[in-house]
Amino acid sequence: MSTEIVLAEPFFKGNALALIKNGRIEDFIADFRDSKNQLVGAIVVGEVDRVSRELNSSFIKLPNEKTGFLKGNKHLKSGDRIVLQSTNFTPIDKAIVVTQNVSFKGKYVIITSKNKRISFSKNVKEKETKLELLSLLENFVDSRIKDVGIIFRSICIKSSPEKILKDLKEQLRKYKDVFDNKNDSICQLVKAPNALQKAYIEWDKFDDPDIIKVKGCFDNFSVWEQILALRSEIVDLPSGGNLIIEKTQAFVAIDINTSKKSSLNSALNVNIEAVKEIPRQLRLRGLGGKVIIELGPLSKKYRKKIEETLILNSLSSDKLRIAGWTNLGNLELEKPRDRFCLSHEGRPNTRCFTASFTVPSQKIVACVT
């Protein structure tokens, strides 16, 4: 039986949190020194600066003299003030990608402003469970529920109706506060969530937002030691093979190497080991965007097994999407850039936003790439 523990420790002017499973770190979220300068998850009022018909997009004036990039919406014109949200980290020399489909993410439900329908996490599969969740809305007294979309998250499967309804009311309140706001000047309406809030929302194990923070608890579980290991591009696998993970400007490249003495059968086992580990490595390193995996020798008949193993070992917060296989047999993935990217200080390709933190006599840089 697996054991999961949530650890929290003071970190800069905020917190660092680690999700530990069987003694090994599975996820890490922290308030980096420069986190406050990012708008990921924040909801703002922006002003359309100029509209590009060729790109079918608009450039937006955002708070703190930042520039946003909004795809679509041909009805906008210069000077329009609109409510927007940023969902991905953006390199410092590029416009921040924003959307008008503002979402309010709680632990149990997500409220959306544009996609006005009721839907369920892909893990909510049982018809009976869906009907039970829908029944919660029948006696829900709030007229705003007709104006929004509702997504029931997978944690609802094992949660009480009281917790789900409480979260739904809270997210609807946030929706009302934003869209009833009469301030049409360029401003930030809702701050980006901090590390404690992110962990509470994303980790099923984390059911108490008032978790006790104990200085030094990371050392007891070798958290910093495991974080420092992420400096290396090479990840050894139990069978003798390894992963080589490289971040480029265009994509993340992952090479799966089998041992020199591997047979075709053992090569399959190495590939299975590798795809079990890849979601964790991407998550902890904060890597996202396009991901290309070059596997070891693999028959096409095992591709489905590789895909299933990859998804099975992902967390819902990873939001991994399998794009397909290339003609050369590489597996392509997509993952949101919704985390700081951890990179060893001094590595190239850190021209972008950086936030450093210190652990015993070592230093790591977190950067948005």
Clarify whether residues 261 and 342 are in a common domain: yes
Per the structure, the complete domain to which residue 47 belongs is given by: 39-99
Q: How many residues does the chain have?
A: 369
Q: Is residue 227 part of a domain?
A: no
Q: Is residue 156 part of a domain?
A: yes
Encode pLDDT of 161-202 as tens digits.
Answer: 999 999 999 999 999 999 988 777 999 999 989 888 999 999
- CATH of residue 44's domain is 2.40.50.140
Clarify whether residues 84 and 126 are in a common domain: no
Clarify whether residues 244 and 351 are in a common domain: yes
- Which residue bears the tokens 């959307």? 99
**Count of domains observed in the chain:** 4
Is residue 102 within 8 A of residue 90, CB to CB? The reply is no
Q: Is the pLDDT of residue 231 over 80?
A: yes
Clarify whether residues 243 and 305 are in a common domain: yes
- For 154, counting Cβ atoms within 10 Å of its Cβ (0-12 exposed, 13-18 middle, 19+ buried), the class is middle
Q: Is residue 196 part of a domain?
A: no
Is residue 46 within 8 A of residue 186, CB to CB? The reply is yes
Most confident stretch, 4-8, 209-213, 302-306, 357-361: 302-306
Among 49, 80, 99, which residue terminates a domain? 99
For 316-322, what is the mean pLDDT?
Answer: 89
Clarify whether residues 152 and 236 are in a common domain: no
Most confident stretch, 183-192, 321-330, 332-341, 352-361: 321-330
d(CA 311, CA 21): 18
Question: Does the pTM of the predicted model rise above 0.85?
Answer: no
Q: At 77, is the secondary structure helix, strand, or coil?
A: coil
Is residue 227 within 8 A of residue 364, CB to CB? The reply is yes
Clarify whether residues 330 and 282 are in a common domain: yes
Clarify whether residues 65 and 168 are in a common domain: no
Is residue 289 within 8 A of residue 252, CB to CB? The reply is yes
Q: Is residue 354 part of a domain?
A: yes
Amino acid at 173: R
Clarify whether residues 184 and 109 are in a common domain: yes
Among 61, 78, 99, which residue terminates a domain? 99
Clarify whether residues 265 and 327 are in a common domain: yes
